[in-house]
Amino acid sequence: MSTKFVLSSFEINEIENQKKYYENYRAITIEALKIVQKQRGWVSDQAVIEISKILNISPSDIESVATFYSQIYRQPVGRNIIRYCDSVVCYLTGYQEITKVLENILSIKTGDTTLDNRFTLLPVCCLGNCDKSPTIMINEDLYSKLTPESIPNLLDSYK
């Protein structure tokens, strides 16, 4: 017998609180997804359904927003999210070598999470740091002008 999924009272209150700022509840969708993700680390299918009930929007509409934004995680992720920039500028400055080193050290491919749930490796189209590329972001920390040799020490600092 499975247990029924419910959002926490904190999540429900936070989403309900957002309603007073908007006439059209569709405008709250991304904020509601962020509220749930902040509490749980990702947004499950059941959470999408529960958000849809609170906002009176179809689950497919919530899902379309959740899958459009790469910063909304639709599956569990590691404690540390590594986002590497795969823009044209980072391509020209060698992001592929950085990605290759990350994949080799972590023994994962892009989109995967390490077995110990320590890291998830994801691409992002731009980190807005083109003049200092190649660039990666680990959680909220931005790292620029990376070299393949700098990656092991950088990862060690996220144990």
Is 90 annotated as belonging to a binding site? yes
Cβ contact 98:146 at 8 Å: yes
Strand partners, 141: 138
Query: Does the annotation list 125 as a binding residue?
Result: no
Q: Which residues are annotated as a binding site?
A: 85, 90, 126, 130
Q: Which residues are annotated as a binding site for [2Fe-2S] cluster?
A: 85, 90, 126, 130
